[in-house]
């Protein structure tokens, strides 16, 4: 966190302590149960395809925020550099969930792409053409435009939903059912004889599947290599996807995340409600920019 923002946050928390409870350990919130949270917001744990942080805070990590900022950048950078803007199209792509940015990996993806990390995506989010040399003048102008965007829009109030989402991921990482599903996946993958098979499917593909030339001068593995898809890679990827499905890994992990997120909301329902209001206010400015420039 940058210094000025951190100070502002500490100041806000101190003010909250002084006015609300004196920071002496007394509560400023009334905890709920996870079931009460789900009921309050009409969140259906059986049918929802998004975790609560995304389903109940529609503005959280909503691509329209970035779109509005890109529109402002394009206008601000006129005459400096051609800043390209692509309007986000709602709906998951073949490889990524629209709202969450989580990768989609199934047998269809594996069959067609192998492991997508080895291939540059068709849309790579470029806003400045690859042929443009980024000079210091361009970079300085970009920074100035960024400051102007912040002045107009304010900063996105991500903290509470991010902490809730993080709580979900942490809950999933230690959930016995998730660990059991990971073990089942690993047993299913064992016949492939991959020496450095990871403990969880999230870490596929392992380092042994990267070509040696993909290791850069710092020793890190570069991806998006435009590698030709070999039969061997496809076979491993398809088996991986099938084993994940048979172990119900994604499904079990999603449920664990939902439980973890509901627990986090339940611990501080007022804070969550305040975050929802803050996001709605912030997005009024986003909508105004899109109406004017989109």
Partner 1 sequence: MTRKTRTATILIAGALAVGLTAAPASALWSDCPSGYACVWTSTSYPGSPNAKTASLSNLADVSNRGNSIVNNGKTSVARYYDLAGCSTGSYIVMNNPARGGQSRDPLLSNGTDATTANWANKISCVKFS
Angle at alpha carbon of residue 82, lines to 75 and 289, rounded to 5°: 25
DSSP state of 228: P
Helix, strand or coil for residue 155? coil
Give residue for tokens 């593995």.
Answer: 221
Nearest approach, Cβ of residue 290 and partner 1 (Å): 14
Least Å distance, CB 239 to partner 1, is 17
Helix (H, G, I), strand (E, B) or coil at 215: strand
> Considering beta carbons, is residue 6 or 44 the nearer one to partner 1?
6
Are 51 and 257 within 8 A, CB to CB?
yes
Q: What is the torsional sign of CA 70, 284, 9, 261?
A: negative
Determine phi and psi for 96, rounding to 5 degrees: -150, 140
Rg value, the chain, Cα: 22
* Least Å from the CB of residue 100 to partner 1: 9
Q: 126 or 190, CB closer to partner 1?
A: 126
Distance (Å, whole) CA 46 – CA 54: 16
Q: How far is the CB of 166 from partner 1 (least distance, A)?
A: 5
Nearer to partner 1, 42 or 247 (CB): 247
Minimum Å gap between C-beta 138 and partner 1 is 8
DSSP-derived secondary structure letter, 206: P
């Amino acid at each position: 966190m940058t210094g000025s923002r951190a100070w502002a946050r500490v100041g806000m928390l101190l003010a909250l302590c002084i006015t609300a409870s004196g920071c002496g350990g007394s509560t400023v919130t009334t905890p709920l149960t996870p079931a009460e949270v789900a009921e309050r917001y009409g969140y259906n744990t059986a049918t929802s395809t998004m975790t609560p942080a995304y389903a109940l805070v529609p503005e959280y990590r909503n691509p329209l925020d970035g779109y509005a900022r890109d529109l402002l950048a394009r206008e601000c950078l006129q005459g400096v550099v051609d800043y390209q803007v692509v309007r986000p199209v709602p709906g998951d792509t073949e490889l990524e969930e629209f709202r969450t940015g989580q990768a989609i990996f199934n047998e269809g993806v594996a069959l067609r792409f192998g492991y997508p990390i080895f291939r540059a995506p068709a849309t790579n989010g470029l806003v400045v053409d690859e042929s443009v040399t980024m000079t210091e003048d361009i970079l300085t102008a970009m920074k100035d435009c960024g400051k102007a965007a912040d002045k107009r829009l304010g900063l996105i109030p991500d903290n509470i939903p991010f902490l809730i989402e993080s709580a979900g991921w942490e809950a999933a990482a230690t959930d016995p059912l998730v660990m059991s599903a990971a073990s089942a996946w690993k047993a299913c993958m064992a016949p492939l004889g991959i020496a450095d098979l990871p403990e969880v499917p999230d870490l596929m593909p392992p380092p042994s599947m990267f070509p040696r030339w993909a290791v850069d001068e710092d020793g890190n593995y570069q991806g998006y290599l435009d590698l030709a898809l070999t039969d061997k890679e496809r076979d491993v990827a398809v088996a991986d996807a099938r084993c994940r499905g048979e172990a119900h890994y994604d499904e079990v992990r999603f449920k664990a995340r939902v439980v973890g997120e509901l627990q986090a909301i339940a611990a501080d329902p007022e804070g969550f409600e305040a975050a929802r209001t803050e996001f709605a206010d912030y997005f009024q400015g986003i909508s105004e920019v899109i109406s004017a420039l989109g």
